[in-house]
């Protein structure tokens, strides 16, 4: 399940977040939010977005991996102080320039906000997708103060309709009860 931060309808998606300066010549250390870091080789014209929402064009001169992150060198950012000004900014690309995906795959940013129907029951909308909790990504589905955590396992997907922002799942019996509020009997037992 490739990742890229951004909400449906946003013109841009985030592919990295600048953490801090890295080196003395204006390099920055960035956390990646893309599953396609090799595409930096073709992407030289990028956009940066500040935490306040300001945008700035950036031209990527060089990049290399460093301890699970990526070092980025931009044209015109040539000092530690200039690099420090970019800390907290997000590196973005136009949504239309995302890497094409194989059939059956979806970007996390396209899943956020989709309505989830599990075993014929409307549960709510996808708030987030978590990775690393098991073999399958874990969907956080919210509705009216309720939250469900559901594995996005291929065998559970009945239909994924991104055009209509809808995901239908067939999950094992009892899985939805794991996140259910306690019954009166369970509340009295404590």
Q: What is the DSSP string of 70-96?
A: EEEEETT--SHHHHHTTTT-EEEEEGG
Q: Give the pLDDT score at 8.
A: 47
For a pLDDT cut of 70, what percent of the chain falls above it? Answer: 87
Task: Please determine, for residue 182, whether its predicted confidence score (pLDDT) is greater than 80.
Answer: no
In a 3-state reduction of DSSP, which class is residue 178? helix
Task: Please determine, for residue 21, whether its predicted confidence score (pLDDT) is greater than 90.
Answer: yes
Q: Taking residues 116-126, report their average pLDDT.
A: 92
In a 3-state reduction of DSSP, which class is residue 179? helix
Task: Please determine, for residue 27, whether its predicted confidence score (pLDDT) is greater than 60.
Answer: yes
| pLDDT grade for 69, boundaries at 50, 70 and 90 | very high
| pLDDT grade for 180, boundaries at 50, 70 and 90 | low
Q: Give the pLDDT score at 176.
A: 77
| pLDDT grade for 110, boundaries at 50, 70 and 90 | confident
Q: Give the pLDDT score at 168.
A: 94
Closest C-alpha to 126, from 102, 98, 160, 99: 160
| pLDDT grade for 184, boundaries at 50, 70 and 90 | low
Domains and CATH numbers, the chain: 12-97 (2.40.30.60), 112-180 (2.30.30.240)
- Pick from 73-82, 104-113, 126-135, 179-188: least confident: 179-188
């Amino acid at each position: 399940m490739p990742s890229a931060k951004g909400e449906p309808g946003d013109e841009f998606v985030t592919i990295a977040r600048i953490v801090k300066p890295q080196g003395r010549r204006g390099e920055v250390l960035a956390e990646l939010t893309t599953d396609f870091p090799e595409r930096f080789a073709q992407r030289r014209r990028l956009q940066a977005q500040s935490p306040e929402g300001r945008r700035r064009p950036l031209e990527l001169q060089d990049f290399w991996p460093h301890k699970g992150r990526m070092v980025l060198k931009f044209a015109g950012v040539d000092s530690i102080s200039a690099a420090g000004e970019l800390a907290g900014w997000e590196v973005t690309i136009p949504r239309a320039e995302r890497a094409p995906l194989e059939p059956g795959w979806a970007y996390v940013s396209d899943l956020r906000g989709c309505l989830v129907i599990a075993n014929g029951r409307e549960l709510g909308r996808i708030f987030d997708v978590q990775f690393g909790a098991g073999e399958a990504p874990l969907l956080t589905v919210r509705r009216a103060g309720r939250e469900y955590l559901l594995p996005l396992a291929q065998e559970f997907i009945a239909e994924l309709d991104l055009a209509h922002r809808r995901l239908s799942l067939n999950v094992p019996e009892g899985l939805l009860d794991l996140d259910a509020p306690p019954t009166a009997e369970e509340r009295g037992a404590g």
